[in-house]
Structure 1
Amino acid sequence: MQSNLQFIFLNIIGLSVFLHGVHSQDSETPNFYKPYVQHKRFEIDKPGQESVVHREELLLSSRLKQETIFSQFFPNEFKLNDDFYKLLFKNLTVECADQFEHYLDAISALPKIPDTWVLQMLDAWGKLPSGILSGNLGMFGDFYECVGIKGKYESKIAGSEVQVKGKYCNTLVLPGPEIMKLIGSGTEESVLETLDLGIRNSASLEELILHFLNNGWPQILPMMGTCFPAVCSNQDVQEILTSFHTHKLKDLMTQVVVDCRTDEKPPLGGGEYAMIVVLSLIALVCISGTCIDVYGTAALKQRPGMNVILAFSVYTNTKRWLNMSVGTENLGCFHGLKFFSMLWILQGHTFVTAVSLLVWNNWDVKTIHEDWSVYPIINGFNSVDTFFVLSGILVCYNLMKELDKQEGRFNYILFVVHRYLR
């Protein structure tokens, strides 16, 4: 008992000393850091000396300009009357040209910090990732930041305040004709040598670009997310990107718009309405068949055509699905082979789905055939043939039993319809 009291007493003393130290440190912290922060962030400009704040704003301006694909839009002296900008805005719709021009004006005015929506639109763009030579070619940016943009500005054309929303466009970035000439010239042999890092396979620039154009599986297609004003149509976005790559990057690359999205839900089309009607009819038949099966009288179930509705009974079909009993003529070994074949198929499909996406080490996927342990996965296509052969044997076996019962009579149309529905 006494030892416990001593332990508690010592803990109380230690806690008191600790809290006193924390309090003393908190009270001294502002006095220690405040002069430093004021000196660092709010230094008064001296004659002939650039302030810290101005230097940091210039650094922000440089970072924003260098880390985006539109770095060429921001020369030291930004002139909208330049031939390139006239060409860029000539083929755009009026609303798109107005908002995109304001967007470029706001960014080119750095180090003056632009509106939040301008920074969001710039920040939502995909940036060059690490591990490009290893096949990491996904530059998706921030989809939700882009479509969530809601801003406003004073439009010179409209003469009033205009609302701005974001539009996310996914694009393919492919090598242009000029870079293909560079690869074929053989003048960059040191750059085009295959890199061997020992840990992860990497490719030379030439090999990587050639795999862009290779129809083999899996295809490595670099994709970049872009963000534009929502008033710009897909054609406007393509026009901006094409003009940029043609006149600024000299056809080193080409960028193709795949799909664009805003925060608005796309309207339902004829196909969607047709599918809703079909699914509603199936659900209605299933509900009707289940109710008749459970609550209907025997006389009602014996009516002509009622067996078609009862075939959709959820209650009866569920009991049949859960029935594990087998007959004496059942070929269990065949079912086992089908089971393992299906597992093989699922494994192959899982692998194909995974490597078909943009993952970090796409180059490892290209060279995966060099490892013998993955041969069962690579040759998973053969499992489909095995599955079909086993299914065909079972169909023939069941057909022979049915012919034996029917004394050789065979309804070909019913047989084909039954197999098709299955």
Structure 2
Amino acid sequence: MEVLFIAFCLITLVNGYNYTSIIATGGDGDLLVPDILRIAEALEEATQGRCREDFRAYLEGFAKQERWAMNMFDSSVKFPQGILAGNSYQLGNFDQCLSDDFGQYCLIQISSNSFAKETQYKRMFSKNGSSVHWAICVPSSCSPEEIRVLFEDVFQRFFDESALAVTVPPSLCSKNQRKPITYLEIIYSSIICLFVTFVLGTTLYHVVHIRKKSKRSEYALDRSRKTDPLHKQILISFSLIRNASKILAVRSTNNELNLDCICGVRVISMVMILSGHCLIFRITSPIVNADFYENELGKPQNAIFLNNPLLVDTFLLLSGFLFCRLLLQELEKKKGGVNVFFLYIARYVRLTPAYCVVLGFYCTFLLRLGDGPLWQQKVGVEQERCLNSWWTNLLYLNNYLQTDQQCMFQSWYLSVDTQLFVFAPIVIYSLWKWTLLGPLLLALTLMVTAILPWLITFFRQLDPTLMIYLNEIQDLTNNHYFKTAYIKTEMRAISYVIGMVFGYAIYRLQGFRIPNYVIIFGNVIALLCGFASLFSIILFYSPAYEYNVWISAIYAPLHRLGWCFAMGWIVFVCVLDKAESFLGKFLSSKIFAPLSKLTYCAYLVNGIVEIYSAGSIRVPIYLSIFNLSVDVVGHVIITFAIAFVICLLFESPIHNLEKILIKRYTSEPKIINEDT
């Protein structure tokens, strides 16, 4: 009889019956008795030991209307809503379930053809469109397998549907338990605390240093900074006062190079990249109205977000442009006597400290930031990947090694850029050394980097670019195109090489005044190329489009070629005409100077913002243009705020220290690149 009573209570959990009214009225015996018998059998077969005893205690407590049991019952989903509209996540109440140590929150995945959603896009819901994630609150002693067996049997018996299947991923079960402090967390926090304490101490030292010299004239103070002993210069290089003033300064350090307009290009591109990241994580979160995304997918005005990867190619373009132009100038100044290996070491030292801080946070305290129904699936899995593959990040090879365990989804860019940085001096030196052979080698490199994406796309029958379909971008690391093509250097090298072409052109044409008709003609071509590259992606999202390997193979290199020509031409014109045009003046605005110094750190920390937001979500999101705009603005602001702290504490001091040591002990140039 006890089993029958428990089964009766379980029916109220699964079917959403009002338990109190059933008790009061006696219910419909013809309906309840067969159901109780079926579920009683399932309960006896699926559970055993501690799990069965706790289930009995839970349901008995519910029958007595005890508060803790009522909380568990109330936090579970009673009946799904909006499935046909695409609301496949029924999240219940996560915090209410875990308000007591007895409860365990699980998202069981129920798959059935009856849940399938009709769509005009064949790939939109190809995998998960027939599944519903149903929140249940069960005793914490029950294992995921016991929960799976129980509820699969319950649903199949109750709904009489043999095609229905239930899965319970361990990453979607959460318990209210404290996580022990690990040795890695102790080591990481100790290092960070010691470094922050040192920075605060050097800041105090800087304050005392300033007060001692406060009576001197400004000229004398500036001169004293240059004549200070080495140990004072090193200490002050870590000062928060100095680094904050350096970051917030609106005066460009590149006036002699006339590169102010690049600040605007970098900031605008980074803001759009961060916006794209936010939108990807938003649309792949639990949503109420999946129809919204389907309706917006084919609209031309959304092409900038669907083709967001092109904005990353803008940074590769700028990297190739800056490195080529500046290294050519140094080769000319030093008569070829530039130590390339020193440049490699300097770049590694410049980029890696801030990278290590963020990477270490992923491996340690990221999981402790919060919780939520999807926390373990989003954040826990990310931390596990970082613990397995962090060394590939520090070697800047994570776009080739352990790509199925990639840590920090956006970090592939640093590996691609670094690998191209290693390759570039060969071509750049030939440009300086040989007037004819150098440009021929550059042209050959451009041709090879254009042909490779065509060949790879054609023979592997790949998509023309990363397609933003909901199911396929739920986890980018597991996306086939992302890990086999998108993050590979050979697929992105064309952007870097085009940057080198423009860098070489500016080096050769420095001081030359371009005729107005050439600028006008170039502007028209660049405008057409840019718009064609950006908006042509809409063709591949058309419901009528059928995959064509030839079209995909041709599009793969051409859309990057067109986009990078457009962006390269903008930089080319701005630098040569000294930003005299309206666009040049806008891109050279002082407001972009401080933000441009934060773009590297913003790119590093944005993943934390997006993963935290996705993992801590409690209720499905209602998608609308206004809601998404609010999310994008908020995420961009938060990302840059965190980036300011990371840059202030870890990136800027290393740059200062590098300049001091290079100036004192070597004659090597400080090559400026896109990350400084």
Alignment check: 8 A CA contact 1:212 1:221 kept = no
Pairing of 1:31-70 with structure 2 (within 5 A): 66-67=15-16
Alignment check: 8 A CA contact 1:80 1:86 kept = no
Counterpart-to-counterpart distance in 1, 2:167 and 2:249: 56
Unaligned runs of 5+ in 1: 1-59, 69-73, 150-163, 184-191, 193-202
Q: CA deviation at 1:105?
A: 5.2
Q: Is 1:311–2:237 an aligned residue pair?
A: yes
Query: Which of 316, 321, 328 is equivalent to 1:388?
Result: 316
The match for 1:100 is: 55
Of stretches 257-266 and 345-354 in structure 1, the one that deviates more from structure 2 is 257-266
Counterpart-to-counterpart distance in 2, 1:117 and 1:320: 56
SS in 2 for 1:204: coil
Distance 1:83 1:66, change over 3 A: closer
Q: Is 1:204–2:118 an aligned residue pair?
A: yes
Distance 1:303 1:65, change over 3 A: closer
Q: Is 1:148–2:99 an aligned residue pair?
A: yes
1:280-323 C-alpha deviation (Å, 9 max, x unpaired): 2331332233234333699996356x655443221211121122
Q: CA deviation at 1:212?
A: 5.1
Q: CA deviation at 1:237?
A: 3.5
The match for 1:86 is: 44
Alignment check: 8 A CA contact 1:169 1:261 kept = yes
Q: Is 1:120–2:71 an aligned residue pair?
A: yes
Alignment check: 8 A CA contact 1:220 1:362 kept = no
Counterpart-to-counterpart distance in 1, 2:40 and 2:10: 22
Counterpart-to-counterpart distance in 2, 1:106 and 1:323: 64
CA RMSD, Structure 1 to Structure 2 (Å): 4.0
Q: CA deviation at 1:384?
A: 0.9
Counterpart-to-counterpart distance in 1, 2:131 and 2:87: 10
Q: Give the TM-score normalised by the residue count of structure 2.
A: 0.40
1:163-218 C-alpha deviation (Å, 9 max, x unpaired): x72222233x242xxx45x89xxxxxxxx8xxxxxxxxxx439999982516xxxx
Counterpart-to-counterpart distance in 1, 2:79 and 2:123: 16
Q: Is 1:417–2:331 an aligned residue pair?
A: no
Q: Is 1:229–2:139 an aligned residue pair?
A: yes
Counterpart-to-counterpart distance in 1, 2:130 and 2:319: 36
Counterpart-to-counterpart distance in 2, 1:256 and 1:246: 16
The match for 1:255 is: 167
Counterpart-to-counterpart distance in 2, 1:279 and 1:383: 33
Distance 1:387 1:303, change over 3 A: closer
1:83-116 C-alpha deviation (Å, 9 max, x unpaired): 43331124xxx32220113334566xxxx65433
Residue type of the alignment partner of 2:162: K
Residue type of the alignment partner of 1:252: L
- What is the percentage of aligned positions where both structures have the same residue? 22
SS in 1 for 2:341: helix
Q: CA deviation at 1:135?
A: 0.9
1:259-281 C-alpha deviation (Å, 9 max, x unpaired): 33333332233443333123223
Higher relative contact order (CA 8 A, sep 6+): 2
The match for 1:170 is: 107
Alignment check: 8 A CA contact 1:126 1:226 kept = yes
The match for 1:356 is: 284
Alignment check: 8 A CA contact 1:137 1:221 kept = yes
Q: Is 1:131–2:44 an aligned residue pair?
A: no
Q: Indicate the structure (1 or 2) with the bigger Cα radius of gyration.
A: 1
The match for 1:161 is: none
The match for 1:156 is: none
Unaligned runs of 5+ in 2: 1-8, 18-30, 213-223, 352-674
Alignment check: 8 A CA contact 1:127 1:139 kept = no
Pairing of 1:284-303 with structure 2 (within 5 A): 284-295=197-208, 302=229
Residue type of the alignment partner of 1:211: F
SS in 2 for 1:391: helix
Counterpart-to-counterpart distance in 2, 1:65 and 1:220: 19
Q: CA deviation at 1:126?
A: 2.3
Higher helix proportion (structure 1 or 2)? 2
Residue type of the alignment partner of 2:105: Y
Counterpart-to-counterpart distance in 1, 2:148 and 2:235: 53
Higher strand proportion (structure 1 or 2)? 1
Counterpart-to-counterpart distance in 2, 1:354 and 1:146: 25
Distance 1:274 1:146, change over 3 A: same
Residue type of the alignment partner of 1:135: G
1:19-55 C-alpha deviation (Å, 9 max, x unpaired): xxxxxxxxxxxxxxxxxxxxxxxxxxxxxxxxxxxxx
1:110-169 C-alpha deviation (Å, 9 max, x unpaired): xx65433333222111244432212112211011211114xxxxxxxxxxxxxx722222
Residue type of the alignment partner of 1:121: M
Q: Give the TM-score normalised by the residue count of structure 1.
A: 0.61
SS in 2 for 1:250: coil
Alignment check: 8 A CA contact 1:135 1:363 kept = yes
The match for 1:76 is: 33
SS in 2 for 1:265: coil
Q: CA deviation at 1:64?
A: 5.7
SS in 2 for 1:167: strand
Distance 1:63 1:174, change over 3 A: closer
